[in-house]
Amino acid sequence: MIAALEVTPAWYLVLGALLFSIGAFGLLVRRNPLVMFMCVELMLNAVTLTFVTFSRMLEDTGGQSVVVFVLVVAAAEVVVGLAIIVALLRKRPHATADDVALLEG
Amino acid sequence: MLDIVWLIPALPLAGFLVLLAAGRRIGEPASGWLATAACGGSFVASVVVYAGLLGEEGEGRSFVQTLFEWMPVGDLQVDIGFLADPLSITMALFVTGVGTLIHLYSIGYMHGDRDFSKFFVYMNLFVFSMLMLVLGSNMLVTFIGWEGVGACSYFLIAFWFTDEANASAGKKAFVTNRIGDWGFLVAIFLAFASLGTIDYAGVNAGAEGLPAVTATAIGLLLFVGAVGKSAQIPLYVWLPDAMVGPTPVSALIHAATMVTGGVFLMTRVNPILAAGYDWVPDVIAWVGVITAFVAATIAVAQKDIKKVLAYSTISQLGYMFLAVGVGAYVAAIFHMITHAFFKALLFLGAGSVIHGMHDEQDMRRMGGLRRFMPITAATFIVGWLAISGVPPFSGFFSKDEILLFAWGSGGAQGRALWAIGLVTALVTAFYMSRLVFMVFFGQPRWTEPVGEPAPVAAGAADPEVETGEAATVAAPEPAPAHPGVHVEPHESPWLMTLPLVVLAVLAAVAEVINLPFTPDLKVLEHWLEPVIGANEAHIDVATATKVGLAVTAVVAALTGIAIASLVYLRRRVRAVEPAVLAHAWYYDEAITRFVGGPGTKGFEAVAWFDRNVVDGAVNGVATVVRTSGRGLRTVQSGFVRSYALGISAGVVVVLAYFLTRLYI
């Protein structure tokens, strides 16, 4: 029965959409900056999964090369974002994302 | 020889810079001599360039020297360059020549002044600016000189600025000139917009292809500039007040050189005037002749020796504009040159008299001075005969040429111009004779207080001036004018009389440059032909008529002198000097009243418009931006999660939009 189920690209797309929604939901409801950051990463990876799926479906390598770009950007983003979060948590160990509002002029 | 053109303005500039840096250290009289040498060197350079031009033929007598590119901006290409052609070199010759003599004279006149060296700083700067004006190869270089001479005029009128009246006279000259400068500047813009160039060569060559309306606009705007600089109606008011400056300044700037700048400009752009509508020259001629007449009538009733000469200058400049208007450019330049000689002579003579009389300028306190100042008197008489138009002195020939062209311009208008010009000549002879008789002939009057039965004063009693002078100058009983100073007129030192003698000789013989008897004798006309050429009017008047006109002019001059001698010398006739003339037709008062009353209201309305409408529009935009910004900035709360919520909501909305478009 299980063998009868064929894994179609739709599965990957649904998985990507689910991952994206979980990430977005987490981003909205959590306050811990580190968790919010992980949610953003989750959303990014959901998108890359979608890109790869479409690349396979359309037999176009363009989608895969975009994924490489996304990885590079994500890496850069991690460097900056993590640095900010580490600096923030060092100053105030139990800070939430809302505390960053202090920076507003 | 032509490529030393740049030296002509460079020498006075060098003199100016040296005196500016070290004038006080050089001191008196060396700084005066230095300035004179700079101006004299410039004259020598002009002579050399003149000789160089003589070596060329006809159209070749035009040489442009470009020193450097000043502003290459897009299509606009402006160079600092000099144009040496017969017109500019003629101007440069008499500017530097007369200028040198006046510098020399100033060494004597300014002797002992606290700011002796500063005076020569300004004088050299003026000569430099004037030479830039006449030598500039394009309108903008001329405009630099134009503004430079205006600034120097301001500095020198207000030279003794500690006196309030002098300072405000300087300001008056400056402000009045600005009105004219506006015209000049707009004309430059217009010339560039329509011709794409402001070089005289390009402008004059392209003038013929211009639409008549554009040429008219450029010509009239340049004329506005000329009217301001050359003190014509309605902008003449600054020149009489300018007489508060040192007398050499009046001679150099306000008689011989700067004020002729307008006539020069009109001559320089004569193809533009020719390309405009027919009535443009008529406007110029009428403005000129009316100015000549009105200024002459005012001169009849002035008491200040320099004021008489100032109005006389305005009047003579009017003649030059009349000449330009009837197309007699050569006659205009001719009269400009002879006028530079005899009017500089008259002013310097007046300065010598003022010097000898210990700063007395009221003619009613002079008299019989020829016995005390023989050289001044003799040279002044030469100047008087020249300006009055008595042959064989130079003024007769140049003025007669203008009247001849006015007559020859034809029609009722030509006759009317000629008639007014002739009457003006009579009045000119009259007021100049009045001046000479009051100052140099008759009985000495400097011990009398002003306002005693002196018949001269009777008609023109001016209570205001009267009391002012009585308080400061005249003692209550017959006594010296300046208490404590023994007034004994004396002849001036040789430094001052030498320029007088030289100028007297020039005023007497300057007509040789353009004698009317045979075509060969018209040297100036042939010389200027490459510049003026086609636009010079050609008149067709029989020789008998010419002789008749000349005789009429001489009779008019002699009549004027005769009347003046009856009134002021033999005192057979009571002098008539109506207050309306002494007050210059109340023109100044009218301006004051207009500007003080409706004028101020008008400007206040403009200021209100500026404050409320123009500023209101600007401030309104700023207020709208500021208010909306204040509202929008509350959105930036700093709460990251609310931003995220905003973005998510936006994504949902966009998605919903695309999905509905897809399925509906």
ipTM: 0.80
3-state secondary structure (DSSP) of residue B459? coil
CB pairs under 8 A between A and B: 28
**CA angle at B215 for the pair B212 and B221, rounded to the nearest 5°:** 135
Phi, psi of B20 (to 5 degrees): -65, -40
Q: What is the pLDDT of residue A2?
A: 62
Rounded Cα gap, residues B45 and A78, in angstroms: 80
What is the per-residue burial (b if ≥16 Cβ within 10 Å, else e) of B538-555?
Answer: ebeeeeeebeebbebbbe
For residue B392, is pLDDT > 90? Answer: no
CA distance B649 to B638: 18
Element (H or E) spanning B608, and its range? helix B600-609
pLDDT above 90 for B149: yes
Per-residue pLDDT reduced to its tens digit, B2-39: 888 999 999 999 999 999 998 888 888 899 999 999 99
Contact A28 B644 (CB under 8 A): yes
Report CA-CA distances (Å) from B26 to B18, B20, B34, B110, B112: 10, 10, 9, 15, 14
Q: pLDDT digit string (tens) for B520-559?
A: 888 888 888 888 877 888 888 888 888 999 999 999 999 9
Residues of B in contact with A46 (CB under 8 A): none
* Residue B250 CB partners (closer than 8 Å, separation 6+): B242, B243, B306, B309, B310, B347, B351
Q: What is the pTM of this model?
A: 0.77
Contact assessment for residue B356 and residue B529, using Cβ atoms and an 8 Å cutoff: no
pLDDT above 70: percentage of residues in chain B: 94
Residue A3 pLDDT level (bands cut at 50, 70, 90): low
Taking Cα atoms as reference points, which of B452, B456, B451, B427 lies closest to residue B441?
Answer: B456
Give the distance from residue A48's alpha carbon to the nearest chain B alpha carbon, in angstroms: 18
Residues of chain B contacting A27 with CB distance shorter than 8 Å:
641, 644
Q: pLDDT-based confidence at A93, cuts 50/70/90?
A: confident
**Would strands B76-84 and B63-73 be described as parallel, antiparallel, or unpaired?**
antiparallel
CB of A103 less than 8 A from some CB of B: yes
Please answer whether residues B140 and B188 qualify as being in contact, where contact means their C-beta atoms are separated by less than 8 angstroms.
yes
* Residues B572-576, mean pLDDT to the nearest whole number: 82
Q: Distance (Å) from the C-alpha of residue B638 to the closest C-alpha of chain A?
A: 4
Q: Looking at per-residue confidence, does B1 or B417 come out higher?
A: B417
Token pair recorded at residue B603:
């400007």
Report the C-alpha gap between B483 and B485 in whole angstroms.
6
The residues near B218 (Cβ < 8 Å, ≥ 6 apart) are B187, B190, B191, B194, B210, B269, B272, B276
Task: Write B629-636 long-range contacts (CB < 8 A, 24+).
Answer: B636/A104
pLDDT on residue B582: 83
Contact, B53 vs B63, CB < 8 A?
Answer: yes
The answer, for B641 touching chain A at a CB cutoff of 8 Å, is yes
The answer to whether B120 and B31 have CB atoms below 8 angstroms apart is yes
> pLDDT per residue over B328-383, tens digit each?
999 999 999 999 999 999 999 999 999 888 888 888 888 888 888 899 999 999 99
Chain B neighbors of A98, CB-CB under 8 A: 639-641
Interchain CB distance below 8 Å, B641 and A100: no
Asked if B273 and B314 count as a contact pair (C-beta separation under 8 A), the reply is no
Return the closest-CA partner of residue B90 out of B530, B524, B399. Answer: B524
Q: What single-letter DSSP state applies at residue B449? A: P
CB B366 within 8 A of CB B374: no
Q: Residue B645: list chain A partners with CB under 8 A.
A: 28
Is B639 close to A97, i.e. CB distance below 8 A? yes
Higher-scoring residue by pLDDT: B520, A66: A66
Nearest CB to A98; choose among B641, B645, B648? B641
Which pair of structure tokens corresponds to residue B443?
Answer: 């009985």
Specify whether the CB–CB gap between B29 and B104 falls below 8 A. no
Q: Are B254 and B153 within 8 A, CB to CB?
A: yes
> From CA B334, how far away is CA B519, in angstroms rounded?
15
Which one, of B97, B61, B210, lies nearest residue B499 by Cα?
A: B97
Residue in the block written with tokens 């290409």:
B77
Is the pLDDT at B461 greater than 60? The verdict is no
> Is pLDDT above 50 for B473?
no
Side chain identity at B291, as an amino acid letter? Answer: T
Q: B81: which strand partners?
A: B66
User: From residue B265, how far is each of B219, B227, B320 by CA, in Å?
Assistant: 10, 11, 12
Q: Which of A24, A27, A98 sits opposite B639 (nearest CB)?
A: A98
Of A28, A102, A104, the CB nearest to B641: A28
Is B640 in CB contact (< 8 Å) with chain A?
yes
